Structure 1
Amino acid sequence: MSKSTGRPQTSDTIRVFFDARFTRTTHHDGISRYGSCLLEALLNAVAGTDIEVTAIISDEDQLALLPKCRWVKLNSPTSAKEVVIAKKLNDLGADVVFSTMQVMGSTGRRYGLILTVHDLIYYSHPLPPADLPAAVRLLWRAYHLSFAPQRLLLGRADAIAAVSQTTKGLIADHRLSSKPVTVVSNAAEVAVAGSRSVNRHDARSLVYMGTFLPYKNVETLIGSLQHLPGWTLHIASRIDGRREAALRALIPDRAKVIFHRGVSDEEYAALLEGATALVTASQEEGFGLPVIEAMAQGVPVAISDIAIFHEIAGDAAVYFDPDDAGDVAAGIARLTDAKLWSELSAAGQKQATSFDWNSSAQALIGMIRQVHALRQ
């Protein structure tokens, strides 16, 4: 555990442990970035207050992607030791624990617990992430056979954080928890935001950032290029060789798709700067952080006509049927109109300001104080 870098602890201090064990070690995915950015905003917001924050990690390499703070190294969230993590946190004097996921051991806890729900996608698309151990993938599939395990986990928390109003609504629709649910949303990183200086309506360049799970529907994006001669699709995210080969086989004749196999934040910003649009044909999402990041940079977005995207993009987007390659192409083609492109660029930047990490941190602080007060 690191040395304390904060003020001396008193009996009035609210000791908050922030579960950052889902942070990646080399590059962020959506949940990793959510945790890192929210932790940084929380640390800034509680500086000089009675709240002391300690990050929980499971690998010291995670520290490279986290803000500088107090930390403690505990077991991996997929370890069998997860069943006794509550005892360790009791011994560390935790008052409130916040996890960026909903799967956290809690048996025997003597502290307040806030769990996070990002989405319910895996109930309709149960394929687990390939990087999980085989035994965990098996449990994953069993977990998503019904809502009962989810209700059990959420029922053990004192409060629930949802990353969007859409997810909050789904929690209510499926009666997953009777506990209070507060939206603690995603936002763009400050470093990504900036004024748009050049109209790229004629660049014929598209950017995709995201994973390649079936519900992400990258196949339809690639298929839409058949109707978009002269356009280039930049696939920015990391991809394994077999998945790339499968997608390459779908590229229409004379269409151009560039696989970047992962980019730095600076390289990603540069790709967006030269793009006509960020595109995603995802069939479901918990939030859609790349959409907010693109809008913050003044890049128009052409995206699926689904509830969560309407929540985060509002009127500042072109929407299409994600299962119709022709409709995807028609939506993208609308952005060759210079006037519409400019209007959506400006509208997107304005819309992106509706989501900021400071507001999310303040929402989380409110939850922390409420949970702590109820347990006194």
Structure 2
Amino acid sequence: MRLFFDARYIRTDFHDGISRYSAELAEAVQDAASASGVEVTFLVSEPGQIDLLPSGATTLGIHRPTSWREPFTARMLNRFAPDVVFSPMQTIGTMGRRFRLILTLHDTIYYRHRTPPRNLPAAVRVGWRLFHLSYVPQRVTLNAADIVATVSETSKRQFAAVRLTKRPVVVVPNAPQRLADLLPADAEEPGGAPWNIVYMGSFMGYKNVETLVRAMGLLPGRTLHLLSRITPERRRELAGLTPAGAQVVFHNGVSDAEYAALLADHAVLASTSLDEGYGLPLAEALALGVPVVASDLDIFHEVAGPGARYVDPQDPAAVADAVRALDDDAERCRVIDAGAAHIARFTWATSAQTLLDAVRELARRA
């Protein structure tokens, strides 16, 4: 049985969410494929992607996902006779395909917040906005597949609520990277009362970082670390909201190792998003033994379970109270232990097996 895995979304500079999902799932699928009787070929669009795939992986070079050739991808792949093609996105062309197809839609966040990723070409960004003005183009796209994959039960429910596809939806969850592996061998385990507050994520409006900044006025002696890249304009906006005497550090991008070190330094991971597609930083914090303070959102409950204290994202005082509550040794240990048990259910090996089960089922239908 031949599976083509679309690895063209793996970035060679730094991982974004789709890139990390693709790379981690690719490695786990490669590890499990032979035992499942599946032969895997990875589709790549630039040589550097091969270095980020498992050693010895079989690859096939084709065009970039943003190429004008993308609508005709299926006709090109037909020549290689795959049984099933899996894509971690939905752009792959389906016209004239002679293979089974699994497309992935991670969430519906861009229907509510239509700003496209800034790394896309200008013409693609325009198309992105037009595509998300209505559910109709997405319905047509997803219904051209045999199965639709997504990363959470929350997204699956959202798809059903708007009748986004007629196809079966399978949940192939995200899983946290092992940040503990990036810490020095002699590093202390995360512990002690939280002193720092760490935010990892973009600064788009719905992320509502403003509440975190305002909460710092109620948390004297602590530091808020804003880790991600930020535009000068957005930085000035948030700096202007910083209460007098509050400590807020703009890192403007960090490595994974720096991210791990900041979380391990007596921190709490915080997010006051008003909306969210998934929430991978929450999962990463829990896997490292770091407690979380997060908005009371369905997706955050799915990702973090009892490993977080949930707050009204519009209330800085509630955020400050939740952070201070974690100063109590018993409460902090309870949250950390519960979070570790919850996040242990999400592994790339489990997600890979779910995907391979779907691949085998599709192949049997052929």
TM range (shorter): over 0.9
- Which residue of the partner structure matches residue 90 of structure 1? 78
- Which residue of the partner structure matches residue 289 of structure 2? 298
Shift of the alpha carbon at 1:191?
5.2
Q: 2:195 aligns with which of 190, 204, 220?
A: 204
In structure 1, distance between residues paired with 2:28 and 2:195: 36
In structure 2, distance between residues paired with 1:64 and 1:216: 33
Please state if 1:31 is matched with 2:18: yes
The verdict on how the C-alpha distance between 1:240 and 1:53 changes in structure 2, with shifts beyond 3 A counting, is farther
Percent identity (aligned): 46
Q: 2:227 aligns with which of 206, 221, 236?
A: 236
In structure 2, distance between residues paired with 1:243 and 1:54: 42
SS state at 1:220 partner: helix
- Which residue of the partner structure matches residue 6 of structure 1? none
- Of stretches 295-304 and 344-353 in structure 1, the one that deviates more from structure 2 is 344-353
In structure 2, distance between residues paired with 1:58 and 1:239: 28
| Offset from partner CA, 1:190-238 (integer Å, 9 cap, x none) | 454799845331x420111112222222222212212222211112223
- Which residue of the partner structure matches residue 301 of structure 2? 310
Q: 2:331 aligns with which of 337, 340, 345?
A: 340
Stretches of structure 2 that go unaligned for 5 or more consecutive residues are none
- Which residue of the partner structure matches residue 244 of structure 2? 253
SS state at 1:345 partner: helix
The verdict on how the C-alpha distance between 1:151 and 1:91 changes in structure 2, with shifts beyond 3 A counting, is same
Q: TM-score, normalised by structure 2?
A: 0.93
In structure 2, distance between residues paired with 1:149 and 1:198: 46
SS state at 1:314 partner: helix
Please state if 1:369 is matched with 2:360: yes
Conservation of the 8 A alpha-carbon contact between 2:291 and 2:339: yes
- Which residue of the partner structure matches residue 184 of structure 1? 172
Stretches of structure 1 that go unaligned for 5 or more consecutive residues are 1-13
- Which residue of the partner structure matches residue 71 of structure 1? 59
- Which residue of the partner structure matches residue 114 of structure 2? 126
In structure 2, distance between residues paired with 1:56 and 1:18: 6
- Of stretches 84-93 and 360-369 in structure 1, the one that deviates more from structure 2 is 84-93
Conservation of the 8 A alpha-carbon contact between 2:268 and 2:293: yes
SS state at 2:307 partner: coil
- Which residue of the partner structure matches residue 16 of structure 1? 3
SS state at 2:3 partner: strand
The verdict on how the C-alpha distance between 1:248 and 1:43 changes in structure 2, with shifts beyond 3 A counting, is same
Conservation of the 8 A alpha-carbon contact between 1:287 and 1:308: yes
In structure 2, distance between residues paired with 1:242 and 1:55: 40
Q: 1:273 aligns with which of 264, 276, 290?
A: 264
Please state if 1:60 is matched with 2:55: no
Shift of the alpha carbon at 1:264?
2.3
Conservation of the 8 A alpha-carbon contact between 1:207 and 1:275: no
Total equivalences in the alignment: 361
| Offset from partner CA, 1:125-146 (integer Å, 9 cap, x none) | 1111222212111111111111
Conservation of the 8 A alpha-carbon contact between 2:212 and 2:319: yes
The verdict on how the C-alpha distance between 1:59 and 1:275 changes in structure 2, with shifts beyond 3 A counting, is farther
Please state if 1:215 is matched with 2:203: no
Shift of the alpha carbon at 1:189?
2.4
The verdict on how the C-alpha distance between 1:175 and 1:268 changes in structure 2, with shifts beyond 3 A counting, is same
Conservation of the 8 A alpha-carbon contact between 2:4 and 2:42: yes
Q: Give the residue type in structure 1 aligned to 2:192.
A: R
The verdict on how the C-alpha distance between 1:231 and 1:362 changes in structure 2, with shifts beyond 3 A counting, is same
